[in-house]
Amino acid sequence: MMTSDGLYLLFYGWITASVATTTPVIPTHDNGTPPVGTYLAIQIDDNWDSVGRPAYMSSDPAEIEPVLRDYKVDLQIWETNGDGSLLLLILEALDTYEAQELFAASGVSVLTHEGPTAMPRLQESQWKHENMMTLHLAVARGDSGNANYIEHVEFVNNLGGV
């Protein structure tokens, strides 16, 4: 079942294997010393907003089948000490067949994005070059439970005899 940590690992693995193979990638909440030079940081928004109704995978109530629930989650990728070009490469790589297959197999879809946007900040007395991109994701999570269904439906003509 996909979690925030699972999303981090999915994007970390994909970015380091296919886009930024020599660039350090860290979680944004890492309290250690930041890498020297250009690096990427991934931040997962822990607000998982439920979307729609669950999808039941069986019509037999005696079977316990996975129930899929969809959530909207935001993921931010920060490029520090760079010019935003790595974020553009990531954005372009999202449209590749390999990325689409990887994310589909993981139950993740990139719905839309914002950025990349330059977001410089003052750190002590020096400006730090940062760029940020937000990916709006749809994430399908499996659960277990009894699948209920409607066994019988009766149609009634309520149109006044028409």
Per-residue pLDDT of the chain (162 residues; tens, 9 = 90+): 788 899 999 999 999 998 888 899 999 876 778 888 999 999 998 788 887 666 566 666 666 555 667 889 999 999 999 999 999 999 999 999 999 999 999 999 999 999 999 988 887 888 889 999 999 999 988 654 444 445 566 777 666 655
Which residue, among 43, 44, 113, has the nearest Cα to 80 in the 3D structure? Answer: 43
- Cα–Cα distance measured from residue 83 to residue 120, given in angstroms and rounded to the nearest whole number: 10
- Cα–Cα distance measured from residue 108 to residue 96, given in angstroms and rounded to the nearest whole number: 15
Question: Is 159 a member of any domain?
Answer: no
- Cα–Cα distance measured from residue 45 to residue 105, given in angstroms and rounded to the nearest whole number: 21
Question: Is 103 a member of any domain?
Answer: yes
Structure tokens at 20: 């930024």
Domain range for 20:
4-28+39-146
- Cα–Cα distance measured from residue 107 to residue 155, given in angstroms and rounded to the nearest whole number: 37
Question: Is 151 a member of any domain?
Answer: no
The residue written with tokens 């970390």 in the block is 12
What is the torsional sign of CA 8, 14, 20, 23? positive
Pair 67, 58: CB distance under 8 Å: no
Q: Where are any strands of DSSP class E within the chain?
A: 25-27, 39-44, 49-56, 64-80, 108-118, 121-123, 126-128, 130-146
Question: Is 24 a member of any domain?
Answer: yes
Rg (CA), the chain: 22
**What predicted TM-score, i.e. pTM, was given to this entire model?**
0.76
The structural domain count of the chain equals 1
At residue 63, the pLDDT reads 60
At residue 146, the pLDDT reads 44
At residue 1, the pLDDT reads 76
At residue 49, the pLDDT reads 81
CA dihedral 34→73→82→96, nearest 10 degrees, is 120
